[in-house]
Amino acid sequence: MSDSASKPRPQFRNISVPQILSYRLPLAGKSSILHRVSGALLFLCLPLVLVPLFALSVTSPDSFASIQGWVANPIVKLILLALIWGYLHHFCAGIRYLILDLHIGMDKVSAQKSAGVVFGVSLALTLVFGLKLFGVW
């Protein structure tokens, strides 16, 4: 008889929600998940928010002025800031994935560094655009 028959079969159990929440992803994994989240955010907001706002802004000077009134609201500014972050993170992470597709920086240390650069650059650019949006400049 063979020895493979005596080995126990692996057991796969259901994972509970607290186990999922306690799992720590590396920085590259967090960057990947946020790339998907930002892409979904942009995809869903494009027909619901961005295209209607653009259509109103180019219709007439009066409609443009009404949009300026809406954007003066701090809650709308926070929503726009989230969209700005989504775009910038998706853009920076997309460049990272294009570089990874060229097989540059595929080792673990380089991938962690490039994920950190994506977070740093996207958050710094979001801060700059956020300061401009809230009228600091």
Domain boundaries, the chain: 26-133
- pLDDT value at residue 32: 95
Task: Give the tokens for residue 93.
Answer: 């992470």
- pLDDT value at residue 2: 58
DSSP 9: P
Contact between residue 95 and residue 31 where contact means Cβ atoms under 8 Å apart = no
- pLDDT value at residue 3: 60
In tens digits, the chain (137 residues) has pLDDT values of 556 667 888 887 788 888 878 888 899 999 999 999 999 999 999 999 889 989 999 999 999 999 999 889 999 999 999 999 999 999 999 999 999 999 999 999 999 999 999 999 999 999 999 999 998 88
- pLDDT value at residue 22: 84
- pLDDT value at residue 137: 81
Distance from C-alpha of 128 to C-alpha of 136, rounded to nearest angstrom:
10
Q: How far apart are the first and last CA of the chain?
A: 80
- pLDDT value at residue 115: 96
CATH of 26-133, one of 3.40.190.10, 3.40.50.300, 3.90.950.20, 1.20.1300.10: 1.20.1300.10
Q: What is the pTM of this model?
A: 0.80
CA distances from 38 to 34, 44, 45, 77, 79 (A): 6, 10, 10, 18, 13
- pLDDT value at residue 36: 96
- pLDDT value at residue 21: 81
